[in-house]
Amino acid sequence: MAAPERLVFISPSDPPGDWEAAFRTAAPEVEFVVSRGEVERPETIDWAVVWKPPAGALARLPNLRCVLSLGAGVDHILLDPGYPRDVPLSRVVDPYLTAGMSEYVVLHVLAHHRDLPHSLGHQAAGRWKPFAAPRADETRVGILGLGELGLDAARKLRPFGYRLAGWSLGRKAEPGVESFAGAGELGAFLARSDILVCLLPLTPATRGILNSAAFDRLPRGARLINAARGGHLIESDLVAALDEGQIGGATLDVFQSEPLPATSPLWTHPKVIVTPHIAAITDPRSTAQQMAESMARVRRGEAPLNPVDLTKGY
Ligand code: GLV
């Protein structure tokens, strides 16, 4: 009898028990191994399900058939210079993750449009100070990244009547969303974005894209929502733009260093809402089913679901 296939689970933050239970249902034939450092009998590992794997960990698995990212983004894997580039890599595209991200984006676009941070400041000071929000149809929301997540967020923002635009590498045809494409149109896109939402994949081309030059292109007092990756944002540039008034407020779910260090000025900045990388959590039950489908495809000699193009980085 052939030895059972083995799957190694590597993540510093995802609860392995939930994933083990999900795989017991989705792929009962596969042995689930949690890595706490070195993996025993590395040559017997077929599959790796990973979030932020330590550098070199995947290269030490010589018979790996597929790497399955625990996140929609795969930058946390490709940062490893020793990543075995001949092994197919699959990322998460999951309706629950997409819905979670859109909930987060709608919540915070509304919070900034209606200036919730300002109201909370008045409440803390016991001040009754009514103010009017701008009309939604005069509020321009710009979404950086019009992939799976950006398009869903745009569709869910549409009923509020915002003026929507998106920026992506290639032009998109989405009703009610003005499409800006490529580096040449980034400036014009920023100039028309009162509320800027970042949902980009983190690649060498997008690292640091949220910097003071970009902030200077935004309308004065614009708001920023970053639910993508901390690496997109130069945090010191944001603090300067907030303090100077060029940026009127921000919601940040992701940071250059996570957990956000206690010394970060972002924790206590009155114009900033901080959340601990929770915009879109990967759902084990739903995602393990898809990972099992990817494994079945790879066994048949096909590509996994949602294969990552390593030249593009997403
Ligand atoms: C979370 O950050 C993800 O990549 O899904």
Which atom of ligand 1 has the smallest separation from the CA of 277? 2
Which H or E element spans position 113? Answer: helix 95-113
Judge if 146 and 223 occupy the same domain: yes
pLDDT level of residue 209 (50, 70, 90 thresholds):
very high
Please tell me the distance between residue 149's alpha carbon and the centre of ligand 1 in angstroms: 11
Nearest CA to ligand 1 atom 2: 71
Spatial distance between the Cα atoms of 297 and 288, rounded to a whole number of angstroms: 14
Which residues lie across from 7 on neighbouring strands? 32, 47
Return the DSSP state at 231.
Answer: G
Please tell me the distance between residue 2's alpha carbon and the centre of ligand 1 in angstroms: 35
Ligand 1 within 6 A of CB of 88: no
Q: Is residue 307 part of a domain?
A: no
Residues 60-80: what's their mean pLDDT?
97
The pLDDT assigned to 124 comes to 95
Query: Structural domain tally of the chain?
Result: 2
pLDDT tens profile 145-197: 999 999 999 999 999 999 999 999 999 999 999 999 999 999 999 999 999 99
Spatial distance between the Cα atoms of 193 and 172, rounded to a whole number of angstroms: 18
Judge if 13 and 161 occupy the same domain: no
Ligand 1 within 6 A of CB of 100: no
Identify the residue whose tokens are 């990244």: 145
pLDDT tens profile 217-273: 999 999 999 999 999 999 999 999 999 999 999 999 999 999 999 999 999 999 999
Q: Is residue 68 part of a domain?
A: yes
| Residue 34 pLDDT greater than 70, yes or no | yes
Judge if 259 and 292 occupy the same domain: no
Active site residues: 229, 277
Residues 98-123: what's their mean pLDDT?
97
Q: Is residue 39 part of a domain?
A: yes
Structural domain that includes position 17: 6-94+282-299
Please tell me the distance between residue 70's alpha carbon and the centre of ligand 1 in angstroms: 7
Share the mean pLDDT of the chain. 97
The pLDDT assigned to 36 comes to 84
The pLDDT assigned to 2 comes to 79
pLDDT level of residue 1 (50, 70, 90 thresholds):
low
CATH of residue 264's domain is 3.40.50.720
Decide: 51 and 10 in contact? Cβ < 8 Å: yes
Ligand 1 within 6 A of CB of 73: yes
Identify the residue whose tokens are 């099992």: 292
